[in-house]
Structure 1
Amino acid sequence: MSTYPESFRWSYALSKQLASAHTLASSYGDLELDDELRLAVERAVRPILERRLKQVEKQEAAR
């Protein structure tokens, strides 16, 4: 179990991991992301990560 709050995980994904994504990995192999694919992934995933971060922050604040 991590010593960091769950919100840190989502915040880190938003600030570091999403911006540096370069590959999609699957059980069939990796797919290298070019600029067009990176932008598409960011546009699709960012709103979900932001929503999950807000949800977790609310849960942590209620504790």
Structure 2
Amino acid sequence: MTTPNGRPIADKTIRRQLRQVLAPHAVQLAEKALARALTGDAAALQTCAQLLAMSMSPPPVPKAAPTEH
């Protein structure tokens, strides 16, 4: 079984479980990534840059439902 865009439903379940496990540690993980990025860790810097870019982008606009004429 897949979602409307063709991805397996398990993808959403796994992402949801990861968020639940990581959420209580989000601040600590962000601080650790930032500290490593500031010391020159390229992977940590890339992660921080991606998170910053995501936080600055506007939220997605929901698609309007088709109307009947």
TM exceeds 0.5? no
> Which of the two has greater strand per residue?
1
State the structure with more CA Rg. Answer: 2
The two structures have a TM-score, normalised by structure 2, of: 0.27
Work out which structure has the larger RCO, using CA pairs closer than 8 Å and 6 or more positions apart in sequence: 1
The two structures have a TM-score, normalised by structure 1, of: 0.30
